[in-house]
């Protein structure tokens, strides 16, 4: 079989070692005679898997003691509702939420938040296109906001924060779905960090929420118990049956990350991978990336062929070279290469080699 490199934006590539271990343990986890899928979530075997995964994630992200880590369900789209249902109750109703609008994922979050609060756009790209994170100096924040919502990596638009947002005493809620664990972050700068697992962690169906303890306990009466962070925290993410197999795979990914040297080492590799691709795109007149250099995502690189009539030929050739899932999101068009942790630099080099070959043929 040709060597495959999978550039999907999510669900996305996983480390081969993790998949090999999962396959080997599928019918019998550690001599238990059971697959992880078959274990009672309250049994000693699964509890050890859950606790190890929680401890490893806490270590990898250096999560302070006054933060809870919750394993939930529903992805970032469900969390877009769950967040206001848990946080707007801290303020007189109707409360207000500030947003920095950076692209497609912020747009979805804004639309959902409007069900539960008034929404203010504290900052947005002026031309309505999402090619840069608005400069901090221009953010029009309000001290009475229930919270400030940011999406620190826009998967579709390819825009990433390369600075720590701050909002004074107003808690910051950050959607880190597509770059969590790809770079060192200071968790203490945030009130809530959330992420769907299926981009940079593991299988779809697991949502990670990291929440400062003083923000628990304010759920609206309409918030389902299964999504009330305080209840989830009090039950150690076991109020409802958690997505046990997804947690197991995420735990294997966390162990793999530790073997790779942790998040700081991973960040250096991600810088090298992203630079390799952006440098080639910038030097070429055949391709282009439209994102401001200070806001370019290391994880998701949208790019365009100057001659878009060649798009189909480009994708067909890429697939023949084992370079999969490079088609851009339908709302943006063109191409997109996602370079998550599990993408080795050899995959990025193979992509650059193909970009060059295609340019030489058609340029």
Q: Looking at the annotation, which residues are catalytic?
A: 105, 175, 199
Q: What's the min distance (Å) between Cβ of 21 and its own copies?
A: 10
Q: Which residue intervals of the chain are DSSP H helices?
A: 16-24, 44-61, 75-87, 104-113, 229-234, 244-259, 262-283, 311-320, 345-362
The residue with tokens 């795109």 is: 281
* Residue count (the chain): 363
Q: What's the min distance (Å) between Cβ of 118 and its own copies?
A: 15
User: Residue 197 or 210: which CB sits closer to its own copies?
Assistant: 197
**CA gap 304, 134 in Å, rounded:** 23
Q: What's the min distance (Å) between Cβ of 53 and its own copies?
A: 15
Q: Does 104 bind its own copies (CB under 8 A)?
A: no
Torsions phi, psi of 343, nearest 5? -85, 115
The piece of 90-98, 134-142, 197-205, 307-315 that touches its own copies (CB under 8 A) is 197-205
Q: Which of 99, 190, 245, 358 binds its own copies (CB under 8 A)?
A: 245
Of 333, 345, 336, 342, whose CA–CA distance to 318 is shortest? Answer: 336
Q: Does 244 bind its own copies (CB under 8 A)?
A: yes
Q: Is 139 labelled as part of a ligand binding site? A: no
The residue with tokens 């998949």 is: 19
**DSSP codes, 176-222:** -TTTTTSS---GGG-SEEEEETTTTTS-TT-EEEEEEGGG-S---TT
User: Residue 13 or 339: which CB sits closer to its own copies?
Assistant: 13
Q: What is the dihedral of CA 292, 309, 311, 276, to 10 degrees?
A: -40
Q: Does 116 bind its own copies (CB under 8 A)?
A: yes
Q: Does 155 bind its own copies (CB under 8 A)?
A: no
Q: Does 41 bind its own copies (CB under 8 A)?
A: yes
Assign 106 to helix, strand or coil. helix
The residue with tokens 């550039």 is: 7
**CA gap 84, 87 in Å, rounded:** 5
Q: Does 226 bind its own copies (CB under 8 A)?
A: yes
User: Residue 167 or 180: which CB sits closer to its own copies?
Assistant: 180
Q: Does 334 bind its own copies (CB under 8 A)?
A: no
Residues of the binding site for pyridoxal 5'-phosphate: 105, 155, 175, 198, 240-241
Q: Which residues bind its own copies (CB under 8 A)?
A: 1-2, 4, 6, 8-14, 16, 19-20, 22-24, 26-28, 31, 33-35, 37-41, 43, 73-78, 80-82, 85, 111-112, 115-116, 196, 198, 202-206, 220-222, 224-227, 239-246, 249, 322, 324-325
Enumerate the known binding-site residues for L-glutamate: 42
């Amino acid at each position: 079989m040709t060597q495959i490199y999978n550039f999907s934006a999510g669900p996305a590539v996983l480390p081969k070692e993790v998949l090999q271990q999962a396959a080997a343990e599928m019918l019998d986890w550690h001599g238990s005679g059971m697959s992880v899928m078959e274990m009672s979530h309250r049994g000693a075997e699964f509890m050890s898997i859950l606790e190890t995964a929680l401890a490893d994630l806490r270590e990898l992200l250096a999560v302070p003691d006054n933060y809870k880590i919750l394993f939930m369900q529903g992805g970032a789209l469900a969390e877009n509702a769950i967040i206001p249902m848990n946080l707007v109750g801290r303020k007189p109703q109707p409360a207000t939420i500030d947003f920095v609008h950076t692209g497609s994922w912020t747009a979805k979050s804004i639309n959902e938040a409007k069900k539960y609060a008034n929404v203010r756009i504290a900052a947005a790209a002026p031309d309505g296109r999402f090619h840069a994170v608005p400069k901090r100096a221009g953010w029009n924040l309000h001290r009475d906001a229930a919270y400030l919502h940011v999406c620190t990596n826009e998967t579709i638009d390819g825009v990433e924060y390369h600075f720590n947002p701050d909002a004074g005493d107003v808690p910051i809620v950050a959607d880190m779905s597509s770059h969590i664990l790809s770079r060192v972050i200071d968790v203490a700068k945030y009130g809530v960090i959330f992420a769907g697992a299926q981009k940079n962690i593991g299988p779809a169906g697991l949502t990670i929420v990291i929440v400062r303890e003083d923000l628990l306990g304010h759920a609206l009466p309409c918030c389902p118990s299964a999504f009330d962070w305080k209840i989830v925290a009090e039950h150690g993410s076991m109020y409802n049956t958690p997505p046990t197999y997804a947690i197991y795979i995420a735990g294997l990914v966390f162990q793999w990350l530790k073997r790779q040297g942790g998040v700081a080492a991973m960040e250096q590799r991600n810088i090298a991978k992203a630079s390799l691709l952006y440098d080639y795109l910038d030097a070429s007149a055949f391709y282009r990336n439209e994102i401001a250099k200070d806001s370019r995502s290391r994880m998701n690189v949208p790019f365009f062929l100057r001659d878009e009539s060649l798009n189909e030929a480009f994708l067909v050739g890429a697939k023949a070279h084992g370079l999969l899932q490079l088609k851009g999101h339908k709302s943006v068009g063109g191409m997109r290469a996602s370079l998550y942790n599990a993408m080795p630099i050899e995959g990025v080099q193979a992509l650059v080699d193909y970009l060059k070959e295609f340019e030489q043929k058609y340029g």
